């Protein structure tokens, strides 16, 4: 694998002009000896947007695939936990070693586990092993577009979840719960490529975004994923047999929900599209105002004479409050992005 080495020390070198046309600089002797560098060795050089130049020993050139072997126990949950973890840290190939029983019995569990991992496929099953490989290259992934897609998915989930609450639509609620898998799958893919970009310069080039940009998209995607989780929670609450809300509360809940989604949508626009500082600050103020409205709604429940209704509304408002807060987090990273680009 192509990795960025840990910087243990810094040395300075004077640039010399050789032959009147070529700039030369000497390499640290200790580093050269550690990596087997000698006369005629080929080095790879990566230029950075920040003016840096990374010199890499070409001995790592063939190590482009990250592979891992995992021993699985009789507990199927081990597979369900280890495979997503391997995927998230950027592993290309996984071999599951199972000495306890026929791996063919494990294959359904493995296939179910990788269903939420874009690109991971079962390659082969032998007497004691199951091999998986990744089929999606970073060149075919657009992290920004994936983040945009995740935004659309979770906002639709959130809207439908509240609709299910207000209208008592059980079928719609179950659709929202099912769609959370799509949101998780998108976020897992974004996480995977962001993690790979931290140590793999080739990954950064293939993705076509700087590490700063990739972090900003990952951070926003993390907020969207959490919003999706709360949409799922709201949908689950709508299925509670004890949920019974008065018409006045339903109308109020719907209005507040619309305002909450507007905040998230607006803050996402700030990050994913060009904007100015005044717009960012305006949306931040909107988020604070909506958060105050949610808190005021929650305080009104203290005086209700229906504790069961107040309890369920309190749970719903908690999810709305957290959704606004996640929108505020996106606004914060949009502000950081704006300042970063101004400095550059």
What number is the average pLDDT over the span 301-327? 94
Between 5-9, 50-54, 237-241, 332-336, the lowest mean confidence (pLDDT) is in: 5-9
Residue 44's nearest CA partner among 35, 341, 235 is 35
Burial class (CB in 10 A: 0-12, 13-18, 19+), 239: middle
User: Cβ distance 200 to 211 under 8 Å?
Assistant: no
Q: What pLDDT is attached to residue 62?
A: 42
Judge if 67-136 and 141-343 fold alike in CATH terms.
Answer: no
User: Of 88-92, 275-279, 339-343, which has the strongest mean pLDDT?
Assistant: 88-92
User: Over the stretch 267-286, which tens digit does the pLDDT of each residue have?
Assistant: 999 998 867 888 999 999 99
Strands 16-18 and 22-24: antiparallel
pLDDT of 341 > 50? The answer is yes
**Where do we find the tokens 């577009």?**
145
Question: What are the residue ranges of helices labelled H in 198-273?
Answer: 201-207, 211-238, 247-272
- pLDDT band, very low/low/confident/very high, at 101 (cuts 50, 70, 90): low
User: What are the residue ranges spanned by the domains of the chain?
Assistant: 16-60, 67-136, 141-343
Please tell me the distance from the alpha carbon of residue 303 to that of residue 260, in angstroms, as a whole number. 24
pLDDT of 100 > 90? The answer is no
Please tell me the distance from the alpha carbon of residue 177 to that of residue 161, in angstroms, as a whole number. 9
Predicted TM-score (pTM) of the model is 0.86
Give the CATH class of 67-136. Answer: alpha beta
User: Over the stretch 78-89, which tens digit does the pLDDT of each residue have?
Assistant: 889 999 999 999
Fold exhibited by the domain 141-343: Methane Monooxygenase Hydroxylase; Chain G, domain 1 (1.20.58)
The phi, psi pair for 175, rounded to 5°, reads -65, -40
Q: Cα–Cα–Cα angle for 279, 281, 286, nearest 5°?
A: 95
Residue partners of 231: CB distance under 8 A and separation at least 6: 154, 157, 158, 160, 161, 176, 180, 319
Please tell me the distance from the alpha carbon of residue 222 to that of residue 332, in angstroms, as a whole number. 14
User: Over the stretch 172-230, which tens digit does the pLDDT of each residue have?
Assistant: 999 999 999 999 999 999 999 999 999 888 899 999 999 999 999 999 999 999 999 99
User: Over the stretch 217-264, which tens digit does the pLDDT of each residue have?
Assistant: 999 999 999 999 999 999 999 999 888 899 999 999 999 999 999 999
**Where do we find the tokens 């105050």?**
292
- Look up residue 95 and give its DSSP letter: E
Please tell me the distance from the alpha carbon of residue 183 to that of residue 155, in angstroms, as a whole number. 11
Please tell me the distance from the alpha carbon of residue 222 to that of residue 202, in angstroms, as a whole number. 24
Please tell me the distance from the alpha carbon of residue 12 to that of residue 32, in angstroms, as a whole number. 15
User: Over the stretch 110-130, which tens digit does the pLDDT of each residue have?
Assistant: 999 999 999 999 998 887 889
Q: In the CATH scheme, what architecture does the domain 16-60 have?
A: Ribbon (2.10)
């Amino acid at each position: 694998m192509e990795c960025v080495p840990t910087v243990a020390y810094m040395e300075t070198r004077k640039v010399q002009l050789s032959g009147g046309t070529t700039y030369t600089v000497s390499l640290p002797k200790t580093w050269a000896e550690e990596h087997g560098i000698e006369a005629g060795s080929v080095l790879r050089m990566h230029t950075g947007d920040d003016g840096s130049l990374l010199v890499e020993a070409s001995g790592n050139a063939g190590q482009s695939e990250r592979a891992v072997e995992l021993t699985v126990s009789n507990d199927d949950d081990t597979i369900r936990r280890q495979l997503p973890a391997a995927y998230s840290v950027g592993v290309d190939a996984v071999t599951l070693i199972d000495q306890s029983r026929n791996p063919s019995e494990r294959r359904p569990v493995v296939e179910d586990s990788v269903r939420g991992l874009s690109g991971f496929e079962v390659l082969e099953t032998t007497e004691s092993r199951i091999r998986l490989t990744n089929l999606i290259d970073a060149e075919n992934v657009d992290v920004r577009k994936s983040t945009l897609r995740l935004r659309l998915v979770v906002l639709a989930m959130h809207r439908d979840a509240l609709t299910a609450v207000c209208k008592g639509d059980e079928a719609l609620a179950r659709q929202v719960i099912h769609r959370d898998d799509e949101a998780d799958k998108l976020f897992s893919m974004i996480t995977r490529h962001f993690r790979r970009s931290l140590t793999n310069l080739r990954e950064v080039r293939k993705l076509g975004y700087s590490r700063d940009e990739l972090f900003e998209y990952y951070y926003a995607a993390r907020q969207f994923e959490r919003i999706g989780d709360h949409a799922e929670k709201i949908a689950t609450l709508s299925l509670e047999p004890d949920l019974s809300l008065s018409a006045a509360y339903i109308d109020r809940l719907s209005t507040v929900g619309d305002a909450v989604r507007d905040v998230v949508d607006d803050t996402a626009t700030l990050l994913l599209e060009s904007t100015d500082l005044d717009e960012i600050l305006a949306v931040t103020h909107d988020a604070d105002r909506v958060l105050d409205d949610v808190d005021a709604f929650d305080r009104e429940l203290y005086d209700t004479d229906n504790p069961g209704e107040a309890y369920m509304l309190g749970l719903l408002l908690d999810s709305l409050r957290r959704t606004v807060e996640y929108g505020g987090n996106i606004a914060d990273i949009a502000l950081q992005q704006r300042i970063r680009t101004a400095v550059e």
